[in-house]
Amino acid sequence: MIFTEYTTALKVREAVVLKILIIIPAFNEEGSIERVVNDLTERFPQYDYLVVNDGSTDGTKDICNGNGYHVVNLIVNMGIGGAVQTGYRYAVNNRYDITVQIDGDGQHDVSYLEEMIRLIEDGRADIVIGSRFLGTEGFQSTRLRRTGIVFLSMLGKILTGVRVRDITSGYRVVNSKFIHIFAQDYPADYPEPEAMVIAAVHGGRILEYPVVMRERKTGESSITIKKSVYYMCKVTLAMIIRRISFGIRRQK
Amino acid sequence: MIPVTLRITLIFAVISYFVFILYYLKNKMLELKYTLIWLAAGLVMIVLIAFPELLMTFVAFFGIESNMNGLYILVLAFIIMTLMTLTSIVSRQNLKIRILVQELSILEKRIRELENGE
C-alpha cells in the first residue's frame, strides 16, 4: 500500500516537466519569420513557442495565420518591449515555468537553447543572457555600437554591481519569478538594458552564456544611426531612474 | 496697484473662463477630475482680482520688480502644473492602453484557436 503510493508519487514527479515557452517578437519580419519558426519547431518540437506580431504592416500576419503558427497579433504597434511583455503575460496566463525570448529576424542561433535552459532548470541562474561578447566569433556589431554597449554595460555595473557584457542582447532565458515580474513591469521601448536593471534590483542571478550571433539577413535593425543618440540618452536615463526608484522603495 | 480697467477686464475674462469650463462639464466634454486644476487656477485669479493686496504681498515677498510680472509668474506656474498633470494623465492612460491591447490580442488568439477547434 505504502509502496504503491510511493511509486505513484514518483510517477507524478516524473510527469512534472517544466513548461517552456519561446517568445518571438516580430515586427515586419515577413522575410525571416518562417525560417525562424520552422527551424525551431523542427529542432525543438518539445518546446512551445509564441510569435508576437507587433502590428506588422507587411505580410507577417498573413504568413503566421496561414501557416497556423501560434501567434498573437497585437492590434496596434506597441514597440519591442510591449511585444515581449505580451509574451510574458501569455506565459503567466498559461502557467509557463521558463520563457526564452529570441528575435524574429533570425540572428539568434537556437543551437544554444538547451544548455541555456538547463542553467535555469538547475537553479544556477534566474536569467540567462545570450552574449556575443564572451566569444569573438560571429557578428560582433559595428565599432560605434560596441562602444555604446560597453558604456551601458559599465553603467549597469555601477548601478547594480552586476556586469552584463552584452547588455542589449535580446536573447534571454527567464525563470518563473521573472516571468511574473516582467509581465507586470517591462519597459516599452529599447527595453533590454533597463530590464537587466529591473532583474538585478529584484535580486535576480544573471548569467551570460556565450553565443554566436548572425547578422540579420532581412529587415532592418530597429536602431538607426539617427536614433542612436536618442537611444543612448533614453536608455541611460531609464536605467538610472529604475535604480533610484528601487533604492527608495527598498528603504521602506 | 492694478489699474481698475484691467481689473474689470480680468473679472470678465475669469467669468467667461468659468462659463466655458462649466459648459464643457455640463455637456460631458470634460471629466471633472481633470478640470480640478483649471478650476483651482480660476479661483486663485478671482481672489487676486478681488484682493490685489495679496498680489502686492506676494510680489514684495519674492522681490519681483513689478505687479504685472508677479501675475505672469503665477500664470506660468499654473500652466506648467497643468501640463505636468496632463503628461501624467497621458502616461497613466498609456499604461492602461498597453495592458488592454496585450490582453485583447491574447484573447483574440484564444478565440481563433477555439474556432478552429483546437
* Three cell numbers written together for A57: 504592416
Higher pLDDT: A226 or A90? It is A90
Specify the pLDDT at position A180.
Answer: 96
Secondary structure (DSSP) of A179-223: HHHHHH---SSS-HHHHHHHHHHTT--EEEEE--BPPP-SS--S-
Specify the pLDDT at position A1.
Answer: 46
Give yes or no for a contact between A105 and A216, defined as CB atoms under 8 angstroms apart. yes
Using the Cβ of B91 and the Cβ atoms of chain A, whether some distance falls under 8 Å is answered with no
Is residue B109 assigned to a domain? no
Specify the pLDDT at position A27.
Answer: 93
Q: What is the pLDDT of residues B27-57, one digit of tens each?
A: 988 888 888 888 888 898 888 888 888 888 8
Specify the pLDDT at position A168.
Answer: 92
Q: Tell me if B102 and A78 make a contact (CB, 8 A cut-off).
A: yes
Q: Tell me if B98 and A82 make a contact (CB, 8 A cut-off).
A: yes
Which of B102, B106, B108 minimises the CB distance to A82?
A: B102
Q: Tell me if A76 and B103 make a contact (CB, 8 A cut-off).
A: no
Specify the pLDDT at position A75.
Answer: 93
Specify the pLDDT at position A222.
Answer: 60
- Residues of B in Cβ contact (< 8 Å) with A90: 106
Specify the pLDDT at position B3.
Answer: 78
pLDDT band at A97 (very low <50, low <70, confident <90, very high): very high
Question: Taking CA atoms, what residue in B is nearest to A187?
Answer: B95
Secondary structure (DSSP) of B56-67: HHHHHHTT-S-H
Which of B98, B103, B108 minimises the CB distance to A73?
A: B108
Q: Identify the burial level of B118 via C-beta atoms within 10 angstroms of its C-beta, where 0-12 means exposed, 13-18 middle and 19 or more buried.
A: exposed
Model confidence at A232: pLDDT above 70: yes
Give yes or no for a contact between A51 and A37, defined as CB atoms under 8 angstroms apart. yes
Model confidence at A67: pLDDT above 60: yes
Specify the pLDDT at position A172.
Answer: 95
- Residues of B in Cβ contact (< 8 Å) with A72: 105-106, 108-109
Q: Give the gap in angstroms from C-alpha B56 to the nearest C-alpha of chain A.
A: 41
Q: What is the rounded average pLDDT of the residues A42-57?
A: 94
Using the Cβ of B101 and the Cβ atoms of chain A, whether some distance falls under 8 Å is answered with yes
- Residues of B in Cβ contact (< 8 Å) with A78: 98, 101-102
Model confidence at A16: pLDDT above 90: no
Q: Give the gap in angstroms from C-alpha B33 to the nearest C-alpha of chain A.
A: 27
Q: Give the gap in angstroms from C-alpha B7 to the nearest C-alpha of chain A.
A: 46
Question: Taking CA atoms, what residue in A is nearest to B116?
Answer: A68
Is residue B32 assigned to a domain? yes
Question: Taking CA atoms, what residue in A is nearest to B106?
Answer: A72
Please give the single-letter amino acid code of residue A7: T
CA B104/CA B97 separation, integer angstroms: 10
Interface test with A, best of B90, B97, B98, B107 (most A CBs within 10 A): B98
Which of B98, B102, B109 minimises the CB distance to A71?
A: B109
Count how many domains chain B has.
1
Which of B102, B108, B109 minimises the CB distance to A85?
A: B102
Question: Taking CA atoms, what residue in B is nearest to A73?
Answer: B105
- A136 DSSP assignment: -
Q: What is the rounded average pLDDT of the residues A168-183?
A: 95
Q: What is the pLDDT of residues A103-155, one digit of tens each?
A: 988 889 899 999 999 999 999 999 999 998 887 777 777 788 889 999 999 99
Is residue B57 assigned to a domain? yes
Q: Give the gap in angstroms from C-alpha A222 to the nearest C-alpha of chain B.
A: 20
Q: Give the gap in angstroms from C-alpha B86 to the nearest C-alpha of chain A.
A: 20
Model confidence at B13: pLDDT above 50: yes
Q: What is the CATH number of domain A2-250?
A: 3.90.550.10
Q: What is the pLDDT of residues B104-117, one digit of tens each?
A: 999 999 999 898 87
pLDDT band at A88 (very low <50, low <70, confident <90, very high): very high
Is residue B29 assigned to a domain? yes
Model confidence at A5: pLDDT above 60: no
Q: Residue for cell digits 543612448?
A: A232
Percentage of chain A surpassing pLDDT 70?
88
Using the Cβ of B106 and the Cβ atoms of chain A, whether some distance falls under 8 Å is answered with yes
Q: What is the pLDDT of residues A149-170, one digit of tens each?
A: 999 999 999 999 999 999 999 9
Is residue B90 assigned to a domain? no
pLDDT band at A48 (very low <50, low <70, confident <90, very high): very high
Specify the pLDDT at position A252.
Answer: 37
Domain that holds residue B77: 4-85
pLDDT band at B6 (very low <50, low <70, confident <90, very high): confident
The mean predicted confidence, pLDDT, of chain A is: 87
Secondary structure (DSSP) of A43-109: H-TTSEEEEEE-S-SSTHHHHHHHTT--EEE-SS--HHHHHHHHHHHHHHHTT-SEEEE--TTS-B-
- A251 DSSP assignment: T
Q: What is the rounded average pLDDT of the residues B63-84?
A: 86
Is residue B43 assigned to a domain? yes
Is residue B41 assigned to a domain? yes
Is residue B63 assigned to a domain? yes
Q: What is the rounded average pLDDT of the residues A173-200?
A: 93
Which of A76, A86, A188 minimises the CB distance to B106?
A: A86
Model confidence at A249: pLDDT above 80: no
- Residues of A in Cβ contact (< 8 Å) with B114: none
ipTM of predicted assembly, 2 dp: 0.81
